[in-house]
Amino acid sequence: MNEKKNNIEGNNQTRDLFIKVLEKLGCQYTVDEEDAEYAIKFDFSDETLYANVVNGCYDIDVWFPYWFDVDWDNDDAYAGLTNIVNEMNMIGKTKFFYTTHGDENKVWVHNRLSFLLLPSIPEIEDYVSEMLNLLMIDQKDFLHEIKRLKIQVAKSRLLSTMERNDCQDYTLSVEEESFN
């Protein structure tokens, strides 16, 4: 038993396997020269992603950084953003987080997915592709929630304006298409 365990651990070449899978998927990639044992930048579905993967560990972290931002000074947008990040972290497969960069006066959204990469996974290219697609799917769901929030805020502002102006016979409707 120990011999088999040691053999599996001794042959763990996860980083090398991930690079081979990227090549089979047709992804262009570069290895960070300053952190060559860890960081890989690659293109997938017309997006630039980053992977933290090392030989000797079966875990991979894939990052999709800097794909949405709001102005730091916009309190309503920031509050909505943080609520959506929290909601998506409860239901999404990937994890969302945001960072601030004071010199840009922006709050940026990123998402990350961790998964195992084992050489014994059947159809490993399909598996990795599905894992990477989860980042894109959750990003689209996040953007859908942003759109929904914008519509709610617009409705609220319009209704508030109507109340101030004593408009009673106006019906506000939002077509189904606005959510697509």
Q: Which residue has the tokens 């579905």?
A: 45
The residue count of the chain comes to: 180
- The pLDDT score that the predictor gives to residue 163 is 67
Give residue 153's domain range.
2-179
DSSP 3-state of 40: strand
Question: What does pTM read for this prediction?
Answer: 0.76
HEC secondary structure over 59-101:
EEEEEEEEEEEEECCCHHHHHHHHHHHHHHHHHCCCEEEEEEE
- The pLDDT score that the predictor gives to residue 144 is 92
Residue 59, token pair as written in the block: 């875990």
- The pLDDT score that the predictor gives to residue 23 is 97
Report the CATH number at residue 33: 3.30.1460.10
Tens of pLDDT, residue by residue over 100-123, are 876 888 999 999 999 999 999 999
Task: Give the type of residue at 45.
Answer: S
Q: Which position has the higher pLDDT, 159 or 74?
A: 74
Percent of the chain with pLDDT over 90: 51
What's the number of domains the chain is made of?
Answer: 1
14-24 vs 124-164: helix crossing angle, rounded to 10: 80
CB 80 within 8 A of CB 45: no
Tens of pLDDT, residue by residue over 30-77, are 987 776 666 899 999 999 999 999 888 899 999 999 999 988 888 888
